[in-house]
């Protein structure tokens, strides 16, 4: 009898332990976030939420730059003509980082090799000059657990990937009918030739497979990939994820985010340089939420406006605010080294 009672007690204790584990497992991420917040661990909350969002930056098609060579203008015209609306002529990744020294743009351009750089096309002039591309960028979020670290690690495997061969028209024919039916035959391995859209699709498919991008990477052009990443059902799933990640923000935090948005969109370059990394992130997160909401209510006009605002905030945060912090850190380090050299032995 004693043995049986011991067995009963043992099974009862195991049952309690399993129920406790099950109870803990049922906590959703927003519940853990509130627990962390109540215990003063705000940094853990921020890491758990911001680590899940990366961005895709797309360039709307417009008149080719008259300074381009004739074949560059011809290729741009063909890319716009054969793609569905909205016609996009370029697409790249923006992968935020907690380190200012890390470039956040991963891209490839005609005649270049893929790399982490914001120097393609002359940097500020290429991205922000309103007379060039400054008014034509659109951005959409991509959400997955641990997306920042996972996608950055994947992109590192594709650094120096060559652009498509000119003899195959840079592989663009495989992204339109009828040759897109053969897109599966093109390699998806690192360092295999890729234009901008197939490179972005490849990195997303390999780094974040749960996104379920259904077609082979070479199947996508800039427009078709943009349309795939902005499907309403996909954005609706992001909206539910954001609800889970959401934490109760205080009034000062909400006002800070709104002020950061205003500065990133309408402030002078000097006022953008004055923003901290946390303020930039707060403003971008606020616009990301608006972008997801606009994409789920079937308001095409508002969706395009907010996507453009998100793109502008990302670009100014990266190319002006982050670049300023990097330069300031380098200057401070140089001054410290000079001061060390001047100290007498």
pLDDT at 181: 82
pLDDT at 4: 43
Share above pLDDT 90 across residues of the chain, in percent, rounded to a whole number: 42
* DSSP bridge pairs for 137: 59
Range in 110-124, 142-156, 307-321 with the lowest mean pLDDT: 110-124
The angle at the Cα of 151, spanning 145 to 157, to the nearest 5 degrees, equals: 150
Residues 215-242: what's their mean pLDDT? 91
Task: Pick from 69-73, 105-109, 310-314 the range whose average pLDDT is largest.
Answer: 310-314
Statement: residue 23 has pLDDT above 50: no
Q: Whole-angstrom Cα distance, residue 19 to residue 25? A: 10
* pTM of the shown model: 0.77
Statement: residue 37 has pLDDT above 50: no
Residues 152-166: what's their mean pLDDT? 89
Q: Which residues contact 78 (CB under 8 A, 6 or more apart)?
A: 172
CB atoms within 10 A of CB 209: 11
Residues 279-288 pLDDT 10s: 999 999 999 9
Residues 61-106 pLDDT 10s: 665 566 656 555 666 666 656 566 688 889 999 999 888 888 999 9
CB atoms within 10 A of CB 324: 17
Statement: residue 19 has pLDDT above 90: no
Between 171 and 184, the more confident residue is 184
Residues 289-305 pLDDT 10s: 999 999 888 788 999 99
Task: Pick from 17-21, 206-210, 323-327 the range whose average pLDDT is largest.
Answer: 206-210
Statement: residue 15 has pLDDT above 50: no
Q: Which residues contact 230 (CB under 8 A, 6 or more apart)?
A: 140, 295, 303
Round the average pLDDT of the chain to a whole number and report it: 79
Please tell me the total number of residues recorded for the chain in this structure.
345
CB atoms within 10 A of CB 237: 15
pLDDT at 345: 60
Longest dimension (CA), the chain: 94
Q: Whole-angstrom Cα distance, residue 137 to residue 287? A: 15
Statement: residue 31 has pLDDT above 90: no
Q: Whole-angstrom Cα distance, residue 134 to residue 271? A: 19
Distances (CA, A) of 312 to 58, 89, 280: 12, 18, 12
Statement: residue 162 has pLDDT above 80: yes
Say what the alpha-carbon torsion angle 200, 172, 217, 304 is, to the nearest 10 degrees. Answer: 50
pLDDT at 245: 65
Statement: residue 123 has pLDDT above 70: yes
Say what the alpha-carbon torsion angle 77, 78, 80, 85 is, to the nearest 10 degrees. Answer: 150
Instruction: Spell out the domains of the chain, with CATH numbers in brackets.
Output: 47-231 (3.90.1720), 242-334 (no CATH)
């Amino acid at each position: 009898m004693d043995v049986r009672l011991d067995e009963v007690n043992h099974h009862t204790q195991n049952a309690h332990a399993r129920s406790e584990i099950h109870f803990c497992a049922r906590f959703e991420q927003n519940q853990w976030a509130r627990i962390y917040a109540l215990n003063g661990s705000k940094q853990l909350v921020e890491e758990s939420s911001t680590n899940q969002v990366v961005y895709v930056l797309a360039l709307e098609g417009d008149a080719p730059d008259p300074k381009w060579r004739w074949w560059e203008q011809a290729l741009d015209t063909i890319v716009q003509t054969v793609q569905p609306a909205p016609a996009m002529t370029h697409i790249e990744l923006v992968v935020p980082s907690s380190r200012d020294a890390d470039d956040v743009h991963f891209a490839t351009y005609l005649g270049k090799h893929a790399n982490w750089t914001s120097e393609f096309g002359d940097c500020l002039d290429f991205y922000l000059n309103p007379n060039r591309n400054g008014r034509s960028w659109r951005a959409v979020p991509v959400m997955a657990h641990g997306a920042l670290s996972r996608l950055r690690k994947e992109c590192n495997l594709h650094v120096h990937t060559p652009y498509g061969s000119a003899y195959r028209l840079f592989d663009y024919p495989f992204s339109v009918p009828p040759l897109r039916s053969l897109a599966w035959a093109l390699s998806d391995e690192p360092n295999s030739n890729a234009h901008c859209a197939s490179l972005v699709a490849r990195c997303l498919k390999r780094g974040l497979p749960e996104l379920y991008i259904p077609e082979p990477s070479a199947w996508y052009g800039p427009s078709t990939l943009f349309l795939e990443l902005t499907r309403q059902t996909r954005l609706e799933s992001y909206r539910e994820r954001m609800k889970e990640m959401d934490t109760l923000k205080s009034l000062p935090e909400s006002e800070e985010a709104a002020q950061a948005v205003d500065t990133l969109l309408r402030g002078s370059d000097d006022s953008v340089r004055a923003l901290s990394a946390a303020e930039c992130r707060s403003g971008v997160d606020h616009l990301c939420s608006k972008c997801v909401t606009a994409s789920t209510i079937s308001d095409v006009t508002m969706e395009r406006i907010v996507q453009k605002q998100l793109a502008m905030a990302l670009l100014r945060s990266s190319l002006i605010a982050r670049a300023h912090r990097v330069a300031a850190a380098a200057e401070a380090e140089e001054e410290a080294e000079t001061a060390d050299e001047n100290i007498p032995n």
